[in-house]
Structures are given as structure tokens and as C-alpha cells.
Amino acid sequence: MVFPLFKVLVVVIKTTSKPFANFLKIILRNQMMMQGMFVWVGLKANEFEAKVNFKAANPNQKATKDKLDIPPLN
């Protein structure tokens, strides 16, 4: 019961943060340091979502990097 709540929370955060992220991208487009930070945050969010999905599908196994299917970001 706990893991579907995490999934719902992730979906809500992704849905509400999309307009804010687009606004920040427009403002900070020319600042490369900020772009690197956004990429890092996106990778960490992607990794967290992969862990949540793995634990929801396999509750008795430990989520390690080699077992996770983390899609790459552009």
C-alpha cells in the first residue's frame, strides 16, 4: 500500500513542476551552470522513479544499480 502512494506523489510532482521548469528554462537558457544543475536534478529524479518502480514490482528484492532500468536523459 505504501509504494503506490509514492508513485502518485511522483506523478503529482512531475505534473505540477512541468510549467515551472519550462519557465526556468526560458529565463536561464544562457547560463550553462544552471543547465548542468537541471540535468543533475533530472537524473536524480529519474533514478528515484526507477527505484520506486522497481520496489513496487519487486518488494522482496533490494534495488541495486545493475537491477534498475534507468532511461537516459538527453
54 with 67: CB under 8 angstroms? yes
* Other beta carbons within 10 Å of 43: 13
pLDDT at site 1? 52
Encode pLDDT of 16-67 as tens digits. 888 888 887 787 776 776 777 878 888 888 888 888 888 888 888 887 777 7
pLDDT at site 58? 81
The pTM of this model reads 0.52
6 with 53: CB under 8 angstroms? no
Query: Domain segments of the chain: what residues?
Result: 22-59
